[in-house]
């Protein structure tokens, strides 16, 4: 996949005071809003160490690497069902991801991670526009785990403040994309594409 075919979604839970301060300061991008929160005085330097990231569909750790570049002292936990990818992830970062089927994970298990941010890289095959892509969207079994996570999100007692998701360009406009937007807006998240 080349860089032009990838889309990043940054989603954060709506916090009127933070949003108003960010808008007043002229911050528009997700990264700027995210960094603005740390500069605003709400968090002390040592609190960044307490910032917890849950990397779902972790693969070999691309999101882990990106998050650590922005927040080098945050704590990252990873989940993926692919045991081969988990071995590579462990080689790259020294910690083995939890091998869990995200089709079966419950809201209370998600709550138990205490994540401030979720990073998601769900399978792209249901949406890809390549020659081999069937573009089955929600009908593809590989999209079921993301749909299941979206069903669990509103049930959580402590949902993450931020969600970052990446997928291929073909994801936008499909049924699962609509379900994602619908679920996030229902949980008071603000979507930035």
- Give start and end residues of each alpha helix (H) in the chain: 16-25, 30-39, 62-70, 83-93, 107-112, 144-152, 175-186
Q: What is the pLDDT along the chain (193 residues), one digit of tens a residue?
A: 333 344 445 555 654 444 444 444 444 433 333 433 433 334 444 456 689 999 999 999 999 999 999 899 899 999 999 999 999 999 999 999 999 999 999 999 999 999 999 999 999 989 888 877 778 888 889 999 999 999 999 999 999 999 999 988 889 889 999 999 999 999 999 888 7
Provide the pLDDT for residue 167. Answer: 87
Write out the CATH class of domain 3-192.
alpha beta
**Neighbour order of strands in the sheet with 162-168:** 75-79, 52-56, 117-120, 162-168, 6-13, 189-192
Provide the pLDDT for residue 10. Answer: 54
Burial classification of residue 162, based on how many CB atoms lie within 10 Å of its CB (0-12 exposed, 13-18 middle, 19 or more buried): buried
Separation CA 38–CA 182 (nearest Å): 29
Provide the pLDDT for residue 47. Answer: 55
119 catalytic per annotation: no
Selected catalytic residue, list 30, 74, 124, 187: 124
């Amino acid at each position: 996949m080349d860089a032009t075919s990838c889309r990043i979604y940054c989603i954060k839970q709506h916090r009127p005071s933070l949003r108003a301060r960010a808008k007043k300061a002229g911050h528009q991008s997700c990264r700027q809003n995210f960094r603005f929160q740390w500069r605003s005085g709400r968090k002390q330097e040592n609190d960044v160490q307490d910032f917890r990231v849950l990397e779902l569909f972790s693969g070999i750790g691309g999101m882990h690497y990106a998050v650590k570049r922005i927040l080098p002292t945050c704590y990252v936990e990873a989940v993926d069902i692919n045991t081969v990818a988990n071995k590579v992830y462990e080689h790259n970062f020294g910690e083995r991801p939890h091998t869990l089927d995200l089709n079966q994970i419950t809201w209370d298990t998600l709550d138990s991670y205490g994540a401030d941010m979720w990073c998601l890289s769900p399978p792209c095959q249901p949406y890809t526009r390549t020659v081999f892509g069937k573009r089955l969207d929600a009908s593809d079994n590989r999209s079921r785990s993301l749909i299941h996570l979206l069903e669990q999100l509103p049930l959580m007692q402590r949902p993450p403040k931020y969600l970052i998701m990446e997928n291929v360009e073909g994801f936008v406009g499909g049924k699962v994309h609509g379900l994602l937007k619908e679920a996030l807006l229902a949980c008071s998240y603000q979507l930035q594409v």
